[in-house]
Structure 1
Amino acid sequence: MTETRLIDRTLIRISKLADGEDIRQFLQGLVTQDMRTVQSGEPQWSALLSAQGKRLFDFFLWADGDDILIDCGKDDAEALAKRLKLYRLRRKIGIEPDGNLAVHWCRNESGKPADPRLPELGNRWLSNDLDKPAADQEYRTHRLSLGVTEGEAELGSDKTLWLECNAAELNGVSFTKGCYVGQENTARMNYRQKVNRRMVVVPLDHADEKRQRAAYPELGLSVEHRRIDDLEGLDLPGWLEKVL
């Protein structure tokens, strides 16, 4: 069997429980991505931030009719759902796990949606095929080889400003959508060009333990949060190097 299923990912379904509710409008004031761009078959990478603009959760948004599906790390799902329910207040909106679908990935799967961050990351899609073998290790290896970081283990929770996660370069934020949680500081950093640190993937033998967020000895890689002036001499991916 072809290995495509990302077992480390899960889905949260956001749905309206009464006429008049608007799921996109609900999420528009919360997440970094413009909900108007989330169309069927066109996932968008996004995040929920702290008021200071730091990453709390990052995820992919998928449209499913009037519903929105959130494709997130399995370890994040419970806390993310709980946070969204706080914002829901008394609105008739369902926020529940969806175990009927799985997240799938392949480096080259014709006809499937491209990863919205970088085309080189491959294709990502949702399916009710729950029997495919796990592709998590291959996905992680390929993702890190392109210098792309994600999830709490690498980005932390309430530790890293969203633009320091390379969100602008990887299409994880809209600067035209209007207000959302953490928008003020995020917009200010962008327009003043004040992104002083970056998440980077470096060889383990060049690791700086003080800046390290995650280590992958089996891959010989270290994920680190470094100042811009501490990136000189590193072999950075082209998509990042051209903006530094």
Structure 2
Amino acid sequence: MSAIILEDRGVVEVGGPDAAKFLHNLVTNDIAKLLPGQARFCALLAPQGKILFDFLVFAVGEGEDRRYLLDCPLALVGDLVKRLGMYKLRANVTVTPRSGELVSYAFLAAEKPQAEAVALAEDPRSERLGWRALAQQGAIPASGGRADYDAARVAAGIPEGGLDFAYGDAFPHEANMDLIAGVDFTKGCYVGQEVVSRTKHRNLARKRVAPYRTSQGQAPAPGAAVRAGEIDIGLTGSHSGEIGLALIRLDKLADAAAAGIATTAEGVSLEFAAPSGAS
């Protein structure tokens, strides 16, 4: 089974007796029930409800030795460590960057890989993304291509922060976190929870990352304006071949569809589908 190394990912370890409670009270998903062999997709939000960081969380160890490994964008490791440090106060936790030691891998297969991993779990966002692992540097030979992972991610409709939405500027619903197991609406309070809950219960999500397909060859490059006639309705993001993702104003997309107006980007026609996980 091919192991795809994700070189743009970093790792932050949160340990100590209060680690579970500390993380559970901060992030969008349920950490209190997370067990070894599982992963949670989470975000740490600003008080205003916008995504500052998103990451996969793995539980490692048992009892008093339990710690949590956060698989996050490598470029954001330093900022994430600082942000978590701001919330420590008197909590008995340690926050340690581990990117120099641990490497993130993806396995695009349904069966569990046999790998010497520190943490190994199914990717909770989509079955199409298979398994994720964190392992010591050099412990797992990389034999798959990164383009294969990106193609699977785009085909599954899974957004990537910094490409499909901007950190500090997007709400969880806009990044489809409510549709891809990134938000637990029953866990109680966390930073930004009131905004996320209000968006859900009042159906206030006006924008989302939506998948599209073009029959005219290669999908447009990221950052291209999506237009319905003469009206700008969004921006393109990730793409692979003829498929891609775009952050779109849902009301304007619906109006264009009802009026029979084509949506285009860089002169290429785009046919949109419902966001991943949406009915």
TM-score range (shorter-chain normalised) is 0.7 to 0.9
Correspondence for 1:123 among 115, 124, 131: 131
Q: Residues 54 and 161 of structure 2 are in contact (CA less than 8 Å); yes or no, is this contact kept in structure 1?
A: yes
What code does the residue aligned with 1:166 have?
N
Structure 1: distance between partners of 2:145 and 2:82: 28
SS in 1 for 2:80: helix
1:192 corresponds to which residue? 202
What code does the residue aligned with 2:161 have?
G
Q: Residues 198 and 227 of structure 1 are in contact (CA less than 8 Å); yes or no, is this contact kept in structure 2?
A: yes
Correspondence for 1:144 among 154, 167, 175: 154
2:23 corresponds to which residue? 27
Structure 1: distance between partners of 2:130 and 2:225: 27
Q: Which has the higher contact order (CA 8 A, sep 6+)?
A: 1
Aligned residues: 237
The gaps in structure 1 that reach 5 residues or longer are none
SS in 2 for 1:35: coil
1:75/1:136 CA distance change after superposition, 3 Å:
farther
1:202/1:158 CA distance change after superposition, 3 Å:
same
Shift of 1:109: 5.4
Taking structure 2 as the reference length, what is the TM-score of the superposition? 0.76
C-alpha RMSD of matched pairs (Å): 2.4
2:235 corresponds to which residue? 212
Question: Deviation digits for residues 132-190 of structure 1, max 9, x if unmatched?
Answer: 25643221121012211022232211111111211111010111111100000101111
1:236 corresponds to which residue? 273
Correspondence for 1:224 among 228, 236, 246: 246
Q: Residues 60 and 71 of structure 1 are in contact (CA less than 8 Å); yes or no, is this contact kept in structure 2?
A: yes
**Which shows bigger deviation, 79-88 or 207-216?**
207-216
1:181/1:213 CA distance change after superposition, 3 Å:
farther
Structure 2: distance between partners of 1:32 and 1:226: 23
The gaps in structure 2 that reach 5 residues or longer are 114-120, 214-218, 258-270
SS in 1 for 2:164: helix
Q: Residues 163 and 237 of structure 2 are in contact (CA less than 8 Å); yes or no, is this contact kept in structure 1?
A: yes
Q: Residues 154 and 244 of structure 2 are in contact (CA less than 8 Å); yes or no, is this contact kept in structure 1?
A: no
**Which shows bigger deviation, 140-149 or 96-105?**
96-105
**Which shows bigger deviation, 119-128 or 165-174?**
119-128
The structure with the greater share of residues assigned to strand is 2
Q: Residues 158 and 276 of structure 2 are in contact (CA less than 8 Å); yes or no, is this contact kept in structure 1?
A: no
Taking structure 1 as the reference length, what is the TM-score of the superposition? 0.86
Shift of 1:207: 5.3
What code does the residue aligned with 1:102 have?
V
1:173/1:241 CA distance change after superposition, 3 Å:
closer
**Equivalences for 1:32-47 in 2 at 5 Å?**
32-47=28-43
Q: Residues 9 and 103 of structure 1 are in contact (CA less than 8 Å); yes or no, is this contact kept in structure 2?
A: yes
1:130/1:85 CA distance change after superposition, 3 Å:
farther
1:7/1:134 CA distance change after superposition, 3 Å:
farther
**Equivalences for 1:60-71 in 2 at 5 Å?**
60-65=56-61, 66-71=66-71
Q: Percent identity of the aligned residues?
A: 30
